A and B are shown apart, each in its own frame.
Chain A
């Protein structure tokens, strides 16, 4: 019994810390499936976090803030779209630039909000489900944003495998020349991938400023966007495995906080390293065990304008 009372709150905390990473990872999966590599996840997330925070603070409605965060995320990634889809810019460098710009913008526009709070989301237990032993307290005593994140992976799977639009999007990422020959508008699919992905990244950012904390601080995202980029590879571009990866990171972050609170002998800088070390480890493991290459074949390759 002793162990259960420690582990259940820890796993519940893992789901909570994993949720922003999950949103961002799912966003990056959509973008990469359309053939666009967006390394600006971190930038899109932090812009979303700030937009959500400001809108919620001024309107008093966290729901509006949440949607504003998504729109701000799409706006941020649309910059990547303009540079890569219209101007044929290098996708790696453009994504990095978006990260630098996003962090700069959020810290610049957010300076006067540092330390202030905004109305956010509070936990709501799901009736019936939350009374299931063990699983109930781990998965069903969270805020509504966590429940929304449960619904996205199955929807995405259906979208990729069973809808015409989803198949077209994958074609744009696998073999754009063939997709064009089949009469599909590759650029339109890629725009969708970038904007929809940015929307989810923005939501992930909003989770940090509106549910995880209700505060604004500088560098709120703390590398979570980059962890999301790594998790896409770990997840083999599958939404289901992204859930697994996000909660794995969530549990390490939760454990790290718990250990810090308990006051271990380990210095805090070593504890803070854990998620980053784990990212490298997870990447190494997934490249080790890679049997089939599931990366979209045209990932990161721009489509040249037809003459």
Chain B
């Protein structure tokens, strides 16, 4: 009889090996998703092919995937900063909402400002609102050791309801025939599109912010401290690193990036504030961050893939009447299989008895 046991590797898995594990995890989750399509009576191969065609099969599809990757990338970048310190910020969704609210407040209050002043003011308001929303759980954790996972998550529900309160109430467009939305932003409050594409300049923001975050961890002292504390809190504390202050810092940065994404979504994508911008990018961002092992460049690639997944799911929803929830299933499966695959980084399976 064969026995399989787990033994520790002498050295961590090579890069090639890691890629192989990642690829197997993705294939396994696609196979399982295909099985679920089959259970509902949708031809699985057709379904997966239609999904990929919808995501990456045409210029329009790729542009749409990039468009959706922008907010996912920024939220994920933020989430990754917090995860580096082992702070579990599950609140990107709420920080994103607050960012959109902050930007909208500026856009509706000062619609006549010139673009060069209005857009930076909107970014600032979004970052302050998102960062402030992220700071609350950080302060609670620092002062009272309150569990940040649950607080950030609860604050997502609160933020979304607050957004709804605003667009159903005080900020509602009187000419919207009862639809919950604010009036359209003025021309100066809108981030434009790149050339003749449908992609907005938010893509450039992503590149700049991605490089900044990469540089923050690579070159700055504070970035190094975050990594050191994340690897071993106790040792870092003995070394005199300011762990408590870093907790607040990463949560503010994390929230500000998610808030920035909220700004872009309101300003560039829908040109107003409406509840339909809350589609769960903040949760997808967590999947992306973990998939990319918290590295900015990989986060870029993973954001594009998972954004493509969302676009693809819309496609099979239209073509094959597959419910939209299918996207959540694939995301959940990918995350679970990638997590399980992590075992092979430090261990290997050996056949035979002890």
Contact = CB atoms under 8 A, between A and B. Distances in A.
Interface of A: 39, 43, 79, 82-83, 86-90, 92-94, 96-109, 111, 218, 223, 226, 229-230, 233, 267, 269-270, 272-273, 276-277, 279-280, 283-284, 287-288, 290, 305, 307
Contacts of A87: 339-343
Contact of A88 (B5, B147, B154, B347): B347
Interface stretch (B212-220, B222-230, B237-245, B329-337): B329-337
A140 to B, nearest CB: 33
A307 B5 CA distance: 8
B45 interface: no
In order of increasing CB-CB distance, the 10 nearest A-B pairs are A101-B332, A104-B328, A107-B325, A89-B339, A87-B340, A104-B329, A97-B335, A269-B165, A100-B332, A108-B325
A270 B165 contact: yes
A45 B12 CA distance: 37
Given A87-B339, A96-B335, A107-B328, 4 more contacts: A93-B290, A107-B324, A223-B157, A269-B165
22 contacts: A89-B336, A90-B342, A94-B339, A96-B286, A97-B335, A100-B287, A101-B329, A101-B331, A101-B335, A104-B327, A105-B332, A226-B154, A230-B150, A267-B165, A267-B169, A269-B164, A270-B165, A273-B161, A276-B158, A279-B150, A290-B145, A307-B7
B21 to A, nearest CB: 11
Contacts of A93: 286, 290, 335, 339
B328 A100 contact: yes
Given A39-B149, A103-B328, A98 B157 contact: no
Nearest to B331: A100
A12 B335 CA distance: 41
A106 B332 CA distance: 13
Contacts of A223: 154, 157
A283 B168 contact: no
A86 B247 CA distance: 31
A277 B146 contact: no
A109 B149 CA distance: 28
Most chain A beta carbons < 10 A, residue from B39, B153, B327: B153
A288 B144 contact: yes
Contacts of B36: 105, 108
Main secondary structure, interface of B, reads: helix
B88 interface: yes
B26 interface: no
Nearest to A222: B157
Interface in B132-186: 140, 144-147, 149-151, 153-155, 157-158, 161-162, 164-165, 168-169
Given A100-B283, A230-B154, A305 B6 contact: yes
Contacts of B161: 269-270, 272-273, 276
Contacts of B331: 100-101, 104
B90 interface: yes
Nearest to B155: A280
A243 to B, nearest CB: 20
A269 B140 CA distance: 25
Contacts of A94: 335-336, 339
A45 B319 CA distance: 31
A86 B340 CA distance: 8
A58 B323 CA distance: 22
Nearest to B164: A269
A86 B5 CA distance: 11
B336 A280 contact: no
A277 B324 CA distance: 30
Interface in B283-329: 283, 286-287, 290, 323-329
B287 A284 contact: no
Contacts of B343: 87-89
B8 interface: yes
A98 B329 CA distance: 10
B157 A105 contact: no
Contacts of A277: 154, 158
A92 B149 contact: yes
B336 A97 contact: yes
A102 B332 contact: yes
Nearest to B146: A287
Contacts of A269: 161-162, 164-165, 168
Contact of A105 (B6, B164, B329): B329
Contacts of B144: 284, 287-288
A306 to B, nearest CB: 9
Nearest to B328: A104
B88 A283 contact: no
Contacts of A83: 336, 339-340
Contacts of A284: 140, 144, 146
Nearest to B144: A287
A103 B325 contact: yes
A267 B341 CA distance: 47
A98 B326 contact: no
B140 A101 contact: no
A100 B285 CA distance: 12
A289 B88 CA distance: 23
